[in-house]
Amino acid sequence: MGVSDVVTVLLLLVLINLSNHNIKGIDAFHRIYEKLQSQSVESVNHLHRTGFHFQPPKHWINDPNGPVYYKGFYHLFYQYNPQGAVWGNIVWAHSVSKDLVNWEALEPAIYPSKWFDIGGTWSGSITIVPGKGPVILYTSLNQNKTQMQSYAIPQDPSDPYLRKWIKPDDNPIAVPDWTMNGSEFRDPTTAWFSKDGHWRTLVGSVRKHRGIAYIYRSRDFKHWVKAKHPVHSKERTGMWECPDFFPVSLTDFNNGLDLDYVGPNTKHVLKVSLDLTRYEYYTLGKYDSKKDRYVPDGDSPDGWDGLRFDYGNFYASKTFFDYKKNRRILWGWANESDTVDDDRLKGWAGLQVIPRTVLLDSSKKQLVFWPIEEIESLRSNYVRMNNHDIKMGQRLEVKGITPAKADVEVTFYVGSLEKAETFDPSFTFKPFDLCKLKGSNVTGGVGPFGLITLATPDLEEYTPVFFRVFKDTSTHKPKVLMCSDARPSTLKQDQGPSPKEKMYKPSFAGFVDVDLSDGRISLRSLIDHSVVENFGALGKTVITSRVYPVKAVKENAHLYVFNNGTQTVNVESLNAWSMDSPSQMNDGGL
Ligand SMILES: *[C@@H]1O[C@H](CO)[C@@H](O)[C@H](O)[C@H]1NC(C)=O
Ligand SMILES: *[C@@H]1O[C@H](CO)[C@@H](O)[C@H](O)[C@H]1NC(C)=O
Ligand SMILES: *[C@@H]1O[C@H](CO)[C@@H](O)[C@H](O)[C@H]1NC(C)=O
Ligand SMILES: *[C@@H]1O[C@H](CO)[C@@H](O)[C@H](O)[C@H]1NC(C)=O
Ligand SMILES: *[C@@H]1O[C@H](CO)[C@@H](O)[C@H](O)[C@H]1NC(C)=O
C-alpha cells in the first residue's frame, strides 16, 4: 500500500467509526425517535395537563438541573426539547420563582454551541462559588458524542435572574480516561468545599456492570483531578445516573444541611438513579472526608432492594440546600406512562413533581419527604370530615372540592390489629408484587383502606391509594403495605390512537416503617389531573403515579375514602382542599 492508500484506509476507518456512532444512537437510556425529535407541536391537548405542577407550555421535559436559591430567586433548569414532544435536541431550559410555586420562564441557559457541547448539553448542577457566583457543571457531548464535564458561568453574577451564561474556552474540565467508557460518564453533582482547600464533585459512571460515583477535586474550580478511588461503587447495579450526595443531621430533625457542613452528628445520603431499572435508590452512611470514601450503614440495603425517595414514577432527582429557609429541597422528574403516539398528540411529555423537603426520620434509618409549605398557598375550597367509621365494603364521597385538582390529608385510626393477615416473607423486597396480588378490591383483614382518587361513581375508572396491614410473625410487628395502583385508572377500551391496554399501568407500592402503636396512620395525596403524589405516614413512604382517565376527568372526577378490610376503620380526620393554579396556568382551567 502506498502512503495515500494508508491515508484512505485511515479515513475510511474514521468514517466507519463516525457513522457507527450515529447509527448506534447515543445512549442506552432514552428510546430515541429520530423522526419525531424535531416535529414541533401545533396544538396542545389540555385534558391531562397538570394545574399546579411544573410544566412548560409544550414539548418534552426530563431531568431537573441545577436547582439553586440565589439573590431572592429560586432557579430551576431542566432538560428540555424545544422542538418536539419526545426526547431530543436537549437544552437547559430555565425558569425562576420567588416561592417555588409561581414560575417565570426565561431563555434557555445553555444549549449546544461549542465544540465540547455541540453533541449535547446534558444534566448537571449549580454550585455557588465565593467570588464567582453560581457555576454550572454539566455533561457536555462533543461531535463524537463523547461525554465530558464542562462548566458555565453567568455573564453577570449580579443579575438575580442569571439570564446569560458563558461557556469558557478552557472547557471541558473532565474527559473520560482510558479506564472509562465515553458513553457512561455523566451528571456532575453540586460541589462542596472542604477545609483542605479543595472543591469536590461526583460524576456517575459504570465499569463492568459496577455502578460508580467518581470523585473529582479542584482548588480553583477549573482544574479538576479524579481521585484515585471512587467515593463509592456497587457491583451489578449498572450505570449510576444523577448521583446526589448530601449530609443530614442526627440531632436536628427539622432543618437541612448545606453540603460543606462538617460536624460530628451527621450522616450522609448517597442517591443514584439506576439506568437499568429507571428507578432510584439511596443509602444512609458515613462519608470519610480524609479517605474520600463513603460507606453505607450495614442496615441500609445498597442495590436494587434499597430505600427510595419515591416508589413510583420518579427519576433523575436532585436536591439543593435552600439557605433562605435552612431546608434541603428535592426535585424529581415524573415521565409519562402514556404511549409515544399519545405524547405527540398531547403535545407535551413529562413534569416535575412538587418540590419536597428532605429530612432524616427520627428513627435515623430513613429519610422523610413532605411537599414544600409554599404549595399550601394554592389551597382554596376546604372540606373536612371527622370521626367517621368505615365498615368493610363502604366508601364515603368527599364532596365540595375539585377532586381532579386537590390536596387531601387523612388520618385513619385502625384500632386492633388482630384481624391483620399474615405476612409472607417472600414479599419482603417485593411490595410491588404484593400490591399486584392484593389490590384494593381484594378483601383483607386490616385494610385495604385509603383514598379512591380520580374515580367515576361506578368505579369503572379509579386510582386507589391505600394501606394494608399484615402481621409479621418473625418480627411480631405489623408490616404495612402502601399502594398507588394505576391498573384500574383508565378504561380498557381503545381510546384515541393507541389502545390503553398497552399503556404502562403499574401497581406501585412500598412498605411503611411504622409500628402503629397508637393505632394511627396518615396519608396525604396531591391530585392533579394525570398525577397523584402520595405521602404515607408523614412522608416515610412516597409514591407518585401517572394516570390518564378517560371519564374520571375534570368535573367528572370523584374522590372517596374506602375500606375493604373486615376490620372497621375510623377516619379520625380528613382535610381536603381544591387547589388553585399558579400564575402560569397549565391546565386551561379545571
Ligand atoms: C472524533 O472521532 C474521530 C475518529 O474517531 C477523531 O479523529 C476526532 O478527533 C474526534 N473528534 C473529537 C472532537 O474528539
Ligand atoms: C460503552 O457504553 C455504551 C453505552 O452504554 C455501550 O453501548 C458500549 O457497548 C460501551 N462500549 C464498550 C467498549 O464497552
Ligand atoms: C417512563 O415511562 C415508561 C413507560 O412508558 C417506563 O417504562 C420508564 O421506565 C419510565 N421511567 C423513566 C425514568 O424513563
Ligand atoms: C372493594 O371490594 C369490592 C368487592 O371486591 C369491589 O367491588 C370494590 O371495587 C372494592 N373497592 C375498591 C376501592 O377497590
Ligand atoms: C381487581 O382489580 C384488579 C386491578 O384493577 C383487576 O385486574 C381485577 O380484575 C379486579 N378483580 C375483580 C374481581 O374485580
Decide if 39 is inside a domain. Answer: no
**Per residue in 248-290, pLDDT tens?**
999 999 999 999 998 899 999 999 999 999 999 999 999 999 9
> What is the rounded distance in angstroms from the CA atom of residue 100 to the CA atom of residue 324?
12
Q: State the CB neighbour count (10 A cutoff) for residue 394.
A: 16
CA of 451 to the centre of ligand 1 (A): 57
Contacts of residue 200, defined as CB under 8 A and 6 or more positions apart, other chains included, come to 191, 192, 194, 215, 216, 217, 218, 292
Q: Clarify whether residues 332 and 393 are in a common domain.
A: no
CA of 49 to the centre of ligand 5 (A): 27
Please state whether beta strands 315-322 and 327-334 pair in parallel, antiparallel, or not at all (unpaired): antiparallel
Q: Does 278 contact ligand 3 (Cβ within 6 A)?
A: yes
**Per residue in 393-402, pLDDT tens?**
999 999 999 9
Task: Give the CATH number, domain containing residue 512.
Answer: 2.60.120.560
The proportion of the chain whose per-residue pLDDT surpasses 90, expressed as a percent, equals 86
pLDDT exceeds cutoff 90 at 586: no
The residue whose CA is least distant from atom 2 of ligand 1 is 144
Residue 356 domain boundaries: 6-24+61-371
> What is the rounded distance in angstroms from the CA atom of residue 70 to the CA atom of residue 72?
6
Cα 342 versus chain centre, distance: 22
**Which of 334, 350, 371 is a domain's end point?**
371
Domain total for the chain? Answer: 2
**Per residue in 321-369, pLDDT tens?**
999 999 999 999 999 998 888 898 999 999 999 999 999 999 999 999 9
Q: Clarify whether residues 242 and 357 are in a common domain.
A: yes
pLDDT at 27: 41
**Per residue in 18-73, pLDDT tens?**
333 222 333 445 678 887 888 888 788 889 999 999 999 999 999 999 999 999 99
CA of 6 to the centre of ligand 2 (A): 28
Q: Nearest-CA neighbor of 466 among 486, 478, 481, 445?
A: 481
β-pair partners for 463: 453
Task: Give the CATH number, domain containing residue 144.
Answer: 2.115.10.20
The residue whose CA is least distant from atom 1 of ligand 4 is 441
Reply yes or no on whether 275 is catalytic: no
Q: Nearest-CA neighbor of 247 among 140, 360, 163?
A: 360
pLDDT at 341: 86
Confidence of residue 14 (pLDDT cuts 50, 70, 90): very low
Q: Clarify whether residues 403 and 364 are in a common domain.
A: no
Confidence of residue 493 (pLDDT cuts 50, 70, 90): low
Decide if 508 is inside a domain. Answer: yes
pLDDT at 36: 82
Contacts of residue 28, defined as CB under 8 A and 6 or more positions apart, other chains included, come to 183, 239, 275
132 vs 10, higher pLDDT: 132
Q: Nearest-CA neighbor of 84 among 345, 316, 352?
A: 345
Q: Clarify whether residues 385 and 362 are in a common domain.
A: no
As a whole number, mean pLDDT of residues 151-171 equals 98
CA of 447 to the centre of ligand 1 (A): 61
**Which of 309, 336, 371 is a domain's end point?**
371
**Which of 371, 403, 438 is a domain's end point?**
371
Q: Report which ligand 5 atom has the smallest distance to the Cα of 488.
A: 5
H or E element in which residue 413 lies: strand 405-413
pLDDT at 18: 32
The residue whose CA is least distant from atom 7 of ligand 1 is 14
**Looking at 27, 63, 275, 302, which residue is catalytic?**
63
pLDDT exceeds cutoff 60 at 8: no
Q: State the CB neighbour count (10 A cutoff) for residue 22.
A: 11
As a whole number, mean pLDDT of residues 524-532 equals 98
Q: Does 559 contact ligand 4 (Cβ within 6 A)?
A: no
Q: Does 127 contact ligand 3 (Cβ within 6 A)?
A: no
> What is the rounded distance in angstroms from the CA atom of residue 157 to the CA atom of residue 171?
20
pLDDT at 34: 81
> What is the rounded distance in angstroms from the CA atom of residue 179 to the CA atom of residue 208?
11
Q: Does 452 contact ligand 4 (Cβ within 6 A)?
A: yes
Contacts of residue 226, defined as CB under 8 A and 6 or more positions apart, other chains included, come to 174, 177, 214, 215, 216
Is-contact 419 470, C-beta < 8 A? no
pLDDT exceeds cutoff 80 at 489: yes
Q: Report which ligand 2 atom has the smallest distance to the Cα of 182.
A: 1
pLDDT at 39: 81
Cα 285 versus chain centre, distance: 21
CA of 144 to the centre of ligand 1 (A): 6
Contacts of residue 336, defined as CB under 8 A and 6 or more positions apart, other chains included, come to 342, 343, 349, 350, 546
Q: Clarify whether residues 254 and 359 are in a common domain.
A: yes
The residue whose CA is least distant from atom 13 of ligand 3 is 278
